[in-house]
Chain A
Amino acid sequence: MGLFDDVPLNRREFIKAILKGGVAVSSLPLALKLLGILEEPAYAELVQKMLVPHSRPLDNNRVQCLVCPFNCILKIKERSQCFTKQNDDGKLFTYAYHNPCIISVDPVEKMPLHHYLPGSQTLTLAIGGCNLHCLYCQNWQQSQKKPDELKMAAKMDKDETLSALKKKELKILAFNYTEPVVMLEWIIELSKFVRPKGYKVVIGTALYINAEPLKALLDAVDGVVVGLKGFTEEFYKKVTGGTLKPVLDGLVKVKEEKKHLEVVNLVVPTYNDKEEDIKRMCEWFVKNLGAETPLHFSRFEPMYKLQNLPRTPLKTLETAHKMAKDCGIKFVYIDNLAPHPANDTYCPKCNKPLIKRVGLRILENSLKEGKCSQCGESIPGVWR
């Protein structure tokens, strides 16, 4: 006996049933859309784009981006290494413009900036994309995507940005989490608008950028945190996809331009934790950036493509900290590991703890107008 033996179904009824089914199936997307189960229309339609000044046209409608050392040469509709720039009809456009995927109010210590208005909060913005592809990136969900693929948190043009700064009574506009270099044009536009009104602009960057755009970027900012990811070309090539030399050149340039600078070195077990490399880095640091530039050793956390590694052992960080101090660097910190005495700022002369921290929180700040409250030693930084 068949399953449908008892069902009286003649040819006419059969065709009717098929038609009904067809209508039902074809109207399913509409019904789902009405119920809101189907996704929103593509976000890309909402994205604005802007011409990239640091570029040059080539033959056959190709165009070259000159922002970072990759110097991508792009054919029509091709995207750059950093996911943000595209050749549209022989012109280079950036799609990282007014469309942050991250808008947040964070402590300035999260940049990390320890010598820049401690205890203040920043309005932090980030657009998707990055020109480096670090295997351990902790924000890879945003940095390794096209900006127009990510959901825009809110449209942030200069008026919206200023209004947000005012609403939250913030004094610092920050660009962090992804790579400011790939949103250079937007940063410059916002900076030109807010800095004359008394706001500070700071960035957290890997500084993988060519000399000319770097000059433009530095003109637009007050403070820079640079992630110096390692100290060998091999490490940069293997882990970030970039090269070390442009970063070192950039760091020297930041110092020359007298911008507030703090450097972060994420210590990745077995990758960049060799004592001889750390020592060489510290020696270079003192020679080129000076003993007064703060250096942060940051603890690695298994992330993204390096989940097979353990966290950086405490001892490794403490050894790196000691080596940096022995090299003469005056302000050396350990980040992402709290509580630890190396979270605090000490007077380099009398060793009094001046700013006590637990993680990103400030417990006590005994600095008096940028000077040690005990011996009067002047501490480099922006304190008000």
Chain B
Amino acid sequence: MRWITVGTVFCLACVFSFGQERKDAPVQEKEDLLVELFKMAAEQEFIREKTSFINLINGLNLSKEQMSEILKVNEEFRAEVERRYDELKEKFKQAKECFERWIEIIKKGELPEKEMKETQMADSEMVKIGHWVQSLQQKYGEHLDKVFTDAQRAVIDDFNPCIVPPQNLRDPIRVGQASGANPELINGLRFIRSLNGKPFQQRIVIESAVQRAVKFETELAHLTEEEQKVEAERIRKLIEKACDMSDVDFELNKDKLAEEFISGSAYEKLKKLQKEMEKIGSEIQKIGKERRLRNADRVVKYFLNPVIVEPILKERLGSFEEKKSSGAEKAGQNR
């Protein structure tokens, strides 16, 4: 009987512990999955940055000399940072230990004077490192800024990070080519205008166009219902304006209409706002105490990143050399 009791308790304990394990396991797994996903997202972000950088340099038509110069600046930047590697590593380690201790202390709701001072010191060390990196960025950013021509700088200023290069880099308007910017949009407006004598059919097409445009924008800019209504009205009015124009007026103003259609969209407004914020941010940096990044900030953003820049430019410069040597070989053969 006693063995039966012991056996039963043992089985129950096993089942219980198994249940406990099952109950705990998903929590543990979930945490791991989340960390894994974050890591994957970070990796993906790195690849995006790399892709974007390639798109940008493809659109800049950099010369071999410019590429060599950018590479040189990045290598110098890397070398200067790495010279302080041991010292910085030690400081990061100390700061980490200090912050971890501080966490345990504040968890208890305590604020001891000594530890507080230590933590503040560690934090200010970290801020100092940040400032040092910024001053390096300024120094090398100025070098980098001189590498580019005015036209290249104009392209860099207009560039938005991307996976697929935008129209102006992918397929710019060419001399002597009839079609201008936004041909699909203009053709769409032309089609709606061609229904001018058929109000019923035209209305159906306009409403469908408005709905599609608003849906597209809502996906991009997360419009609220109210915003969607306003946007629908704006697009509807714009299309109606295009329909009311004479043939000549429409042809003369088609690019402007298309521009209005796009630039007035909520998504474009958001993009503009974002750029303005970026500008304001750099203005603040310019005039504030932390006068670290100046005009060169976009150049620094894209071109002072040894981890991305160095391998890509080295590969490009390598292919330059290869072409050169194969050209020389060919020339030798011809001779």
> Which A residues fall within an 8 A CB radius of B?
35-36, 40, 102-106, 109-112, 123, 126, 138-139, 142, 153-156, 160, 163-164, 167-168, 176-177, 204, 227, 264, 296, 298-299, 301, 314, 335-341, 343-344, 356-361, 363-364
Contacts and interface: CB of A to CB of B under 8 A. Distances in A.
Contacts of B247: 153-155
B328 to A, nearest CB: 14
A154 B172 contact: no
B4 interface: no
B151 A138 contact: no
Contact of A358 (B155, B176, B197, B198): B155
Contacts of B251: 103-104, 153-154
B173 A339 contact: no
Contacts of B255: 104-105
B177 A139 contact: yes
A298 B175 CA distance: 8
Given A103-B248, A112-B176, A168-B252, 9 more contacts: A104-B178, A126-B178, A154-B247, A164-B248, A177-B178, A338-B61, A338-B155, A338-B172, A339-B149
Secondary structure of the B contact surface, majority rule: helix
Nearest to B173: A360
Contacts of B113: none
Q: For this complex, into which size category does the number of interface residues on chain B fall?
A: 20 to 34
B89 interface: no
A102 to B, nearest CB: 5
17 contacts: A36-B197, A103-B251, A105-B255, A138-B174, A142-B178, A153-B251, A154-B248, A154-B250, A154-B251, A296-B175, A335-B174, A335-B175, A338-B172, A343-B151, A358-B150, A358-B151, A358-B155
Interface in B155-180: 155, 168, 172-178, 180
Contacts of A167: 249, 252
B248 A301 contact: no
B60 interface: yes
A36 B173 contact: no
Given A154-B251, A359-B173, A360-B173, A338 B178 contact: no
Interface of B: 60-61, 149-152, 154-155, 168, 172-178, 180, 194-195, 197-198, 201, 246-252, 254-255
Secondary structure of the A contact surface, majority rule: mixed
A337 B176 contact: no
Contacts of B175: 109-112, 264, 296, 298, 335-336, 360
Contact of A340 (B61, B195, B248): B61
